Structure 1
Amino acid sequence: MKKPNLTDRLIKNSKAGTNTIRLRDNSSDPALKGFMLQILPSGLKTFVLSFTSPETSKRRFLKLGTYPAMSLKEGREAARQARILLDNGLDPITHAEQSKLKAITEKEHQKRLGTVEQLFNFYLLDLEMDQKRSAKQVKSIYLRDIGPNIGHIKCCEVSTDHIVDILALIENRGAPTLANRTRSYLRAAFTFGQHCKSSPRWKKNQDLPDFNIRINPVIDTKKATGENRVGNNYLTKEEVKKLWNSIGVDAMSADMALAIKLLISTGQRVEEVLSATWPEFDRQELLWTIPAERRKNREKNKSREPHLVPLTEFHLRLLDEIKQYSGSSRFLFPHHQDASKPRTSDSLSQAVYRFCLPQGKSKRSSFPKFAPRDLRRTWKTLAGSIGIGLEVRNKIQGHASQDIGSIHYDRYDYLKEKRLGIELWIDWLEELVTND
């Protein structure tokens, strides 16, 4: 007599015995071969599949699910799926174990994937190790606009849309220049994340996450339009004269006014002037020696040579005025709250901004907008207009030459030529700012 197929009624009415009971499903469907209900002495009812392993040729039982949590229909479907694996030469029990292990491994891998916050932590550390002055601005931009939006997201999950949303928020605030700067830093950070594992500096770092960045999500974004580029901005000689004779205690703090005058009279970088220390100045030799480690182009300065800036009596008088405000600090322009540190470029930028756009009830007229770094371009432009050659101007300002001869062989300091150039500049500047 043919045994009946499994039915819900049969399963519900089946009782447990003293030993394990197995009720086969006697279906004519070959995909259900070996499908049965197993009843333990405890009364637990489980759908199982009996099969011969194609890998070991041993008889095995695959637990499919417990009844009634798994219905008879679901049990049969699970048996069919297991039979598909068997037909392909796979042991469903081994396959399930491997799938579980793979899922666990993938979960662990996902935990190790770095977030945008971790990316910027390491990127900032990399910038600081290279003594990049941009590190401070990168951190500020991250904290303001990047971190709050995508800091928690895995780097590999960041899309172009995420980046576009951040840039749009900044651009909609009326800050296209900042938007483009943010775009530049984001692109650089994700590029760092792509290649840091192959970098000698980070290759063996055990704390470095796997960022798993396949494609830089910033590449396909576009720059903001309407950017206020200050790269071409410089002051005319009339503006230099007005600026020189306007700044002071009334229009700007005395120390910041003197910092601007030192910038104009030497043509050096903002950071090099603000972080200058008194031991760098030799009054007898009329020489300002900027150490190699304080130079912006220190990575390109293969010889690690300092930058020599000739001085004149005009500069010494400026230094005497500066000394009145620097007190006992080793810095020419010490921080007001901590004299062991120099003033920051932000403080000078704010002073210039307030000078250009008088605040509150001030009756001063406005001044054409400029940034402190524009004074270096001003020097370069006006010095050229009075006949100081480009090579000498480059040497005075400490621009790094990139030709092979300059990098590896030329060790001449050009001090004589630079001194003649500076003296010509000061003669012109002194006449400009003192004559009515």
Structure 2
Amino acid sequence: MAHAINKLSATKIGKLTKPGFHGDGGGLYLQITQGGVKSWLFRYMKNGKARGMGLGPLHTVSLADARVLALAARKQLLEGVDPLDAKEQQRASSKATAAKSKTFDECAEAYIEAHRSGWKNAKHADQWTNTLDTYASPHFGSLVVSAIDTALVMKALEPIWTEKTETASRVRGRIESVLDWATVRGYRSGENPARWKGHLDHLLPKRSKVQKVEHHAALPYSDAPAFMVELRKLDNTGAKALELLILTATRTNEIIGARWDEFDLSAAIWTIPAERMKAGKEHRVPLSKAAIRIVKAMKSVRQNEYVFPGQREQSPLSNMALLQLLKRMERSDLTAHGFRSTFRDWVGETTHYPREVAEAALAHLLKDKAEAAYARGDLFTKRAAMMADWANYLAGR
């Protein structure tokens, strides 16, 4: 009875060459193929049927290891579990788990691709990719997304939260969005470790406490008429683009991307489509007589679909053109965007136009949701009068 199991030995196994099954006892067999390949097999009866379960090749699974595996299988049989069925179920479960496992980098790539078509700015996807690659991936990009916890998110954010607060805040929001996407897709579960309210707000100081606010360099409104005199001495595309930007209080991208089909000069209206606006909402710009003169001057030398054409064929003026113009004017202390502040200060300090009229001219969305709900119109008539006054002020009248 003592020899019912453990019949084989390492020495004996090394000498065996005959193809077939060589029993060790307890259902464990060394199987030798016609080609001489040796492997382990556990054979047993279940519901009157003979079954066999491979335990691995001899070169990987030793005799001692095979006996341990066979013992575990016999214990399963005592518990009424078919070891072969259990092994197949485990394999299927592992495959299912693997299919539902994605790394953070894989989820980030999938999220960006899924949302790319919905982003109005083509550079938006690149910004997402670059910030996540730079600040998140080094810490947990290669980890399965289900393993990402608060400690890992903090590891990515803490080093940059004080010095690069704006960037860090965007990174946090993007990590949160990717993890939310992964949760909905079934790749992770539980609370989002990157959420701010009620979570990271207890671990990191508020942006307002640490962020260094940097305003765009702006010209005092009292100096604006003199600046316009100097600007109008220049006869080039960049100068006319900057002049129209100042007269309309618009943004650089709105100016350089302006197309001829957006202008109705007879009605003195420039309609900027929603896809070109920061707020994603169509914006009607009232044109003063001075603004119309600029557009007509550019129409007389029209080159392509853009009001302010660039040097390359069928392209608009470069977004650096206005900055370079200011440098040539020896006004590197200013930015094109800063002229919106110049206009806003002029309205607030020298006119009686209501705040909401000035904000509408700048295409700012109202922060107060209740106020925004009642603001159905765009105050165009009032804005037209205000922009005419602004043009007169700039002309020294």
Flag whether TM exceeds 0.5 (same fold): yes
Matched, 1:126 2:118: yes
Matched, 1:328 2:313: no
Q: Look up the equivalent residue of 1:91 and give its one-letter code.
A: D
Partner SS state of residue 270, structure 2: strand
Matched, 1:377 2:378: no
Q: Which residue of 1 aligns with 2:355?
A: 390
> In the aligned structure 2, how far is the partner of 1:76 from the partner of 1:84?
12
> In the aligned structure 2, how far is the partner of 1:50 from the partner of 1:3?
18
Q: Which residue of 2 aligns with 1:229?
A: 213
Q: Is the 8 A contact 2:244 2:294 kept in 1?
A: yes
Q: Look up the equivalent residue of 2:384 and give its one-letter code.
A: R
Q: How does 1:187-202 map to 2 (within 5 A)?
A: 187-195=172-180
Q: Is the 8 A contact 2:22 2:29 kept in 1?
A: yes
Q: Which residue of 2 aligns with 1:23?
A: 23
Q: Which residue of 2 aligns with 1:29?
A: none
> In the aligned structure 2, how far is the partner of 1:184 from the partner of 1:372?
26
* Distance verdict in 2 for CA 1:406–1:67, change over 3 Å: closer
How many residues get paired? 380
Q: Look up the equivalent residue of 1:186 and give its one-letter code.
A: V
> In the aligned structure 2, how far is the partner of 1:48 from the partner of 1:404?
75
Matched, 1:424 2:370: no
Partner SS state of residue 345, structure 1: coil
> In the aligned structure 2, how far is the partner of 1:192 from the partner of 1:124?
14
Partner SS state of residue 284, structure 2: strand
Q: Which runs of 4+ in 1 moved over 6 A?
A: 157-160, 223-226
Q: Is the 8 A contact 1:277 1:330 kept in 2?
A: yes
Q: Look up the equivalent residue of 1:376 and give its one-letter code.
A: R
Matched, 1:319 2:295: yes
Partner SS state of residue 418, structure 1: helix
* Distance verdict in 2 for CA 1:154–1:342, change over 3 Å: farther
> In the aligned structure 1, how far is the partner of 2:42 from the partner of 2:343?
87
Matched, 1:11 2:45: no
Q: CA deviation at 1:77?
A: 1.5
Question: Residue deviations 1:223-253, cap 9 Å, x none?
Answer: 6997553347643124534543454788xx9
* Distance verdict in 2 for CA 1:399–1:65, change over 3 Å: closer
Q: Is the 8 A contact 2:8 2:24 kept in 1?
A: no
> In the aligned structure 2, how far is the partner of 1:318 from the partner of 1:80?
91
CA RMSD of aligned residues (A): 4.5
Partner SS state of residue 311, structure 2: coil
Q: How does 1:188-337 map to 2 (within 5 A)?
A: 188-195=173-180, 212=188, 215=192, 217=194, 220=200, 228-231=212-215, 234-241=218-225, 243-247=227-231, 254-298=236-280, 301=281, 307-323=283-299, 327-337=302-312
Q: Is the 8 A contact 1:190 1:216 kept in 2?
A: no
Question: Residue deviations 1:360-384, cap 9 Å, x none?
Answer: xxxx4x643x433222232122211
Q: Look up the equivalent residue of 1:85 and give its one-letter code.
A: Q
Q: Look up the equivalent residue of 1:345 and give its one-letter code.
A: N
> In the aligned structure 1, how far is the partner of 2:143 from the partner of 2:60?
37
Question: Residue deviations 1:151-202, cap 9 Å, x none?
Answer: 974672667658856995xx69xx95xx445434434444443455899xxx
Q: CA deviation at 1:58?
A: 3.8
> In the aligned structure 1, how far is the partner of 2:317 from the partner of 2:193?
37
Q: CA deviation at 1:337?
A: 0.6
Gaps of 5+ in 1: 26-33, 200-208, 357-363
Partner SS state of residue 333, structure 1: coil
* Distance verdict in 2 for CA 1:293–1:165, change over 3 Å: closer
> In the aligned structure 2, how far is the partner of 1:68 from the partner of 1:197?
41
* Distance verdict in 2 for CA 1:257–1:22, change over 3 Å: same
Q: Is the 8 A contact 2:183 2:189 kept in 1?
A: no
> In the aligned structure 2, how far is the partner of 1:314 from the partner of 1:380?
19
Q: How does 1:116-195 map to 2 (within 5 A)?
A: 116-127=108-119, 131=120, 133=121, 135-136=122-123, 138-140=125-127, 142-143=129-130, 146=133, 150=137, 153=142, 156=145, 161=152, 176=163, 179-195=164-180
Q: Look up the equivalent residue of 1:329 and give its one-letter code.
A: N
For 1:70, which of 61, 64, 70 is the aligned residue?
61
Gaps of 5+ in 2: none
> In the aligned structure 1, how far is the partner of 2:123 from the partner of 2:271?
26
* Distance verdict in 2 for CA 1:15–1:277, change over 3 Å: closer
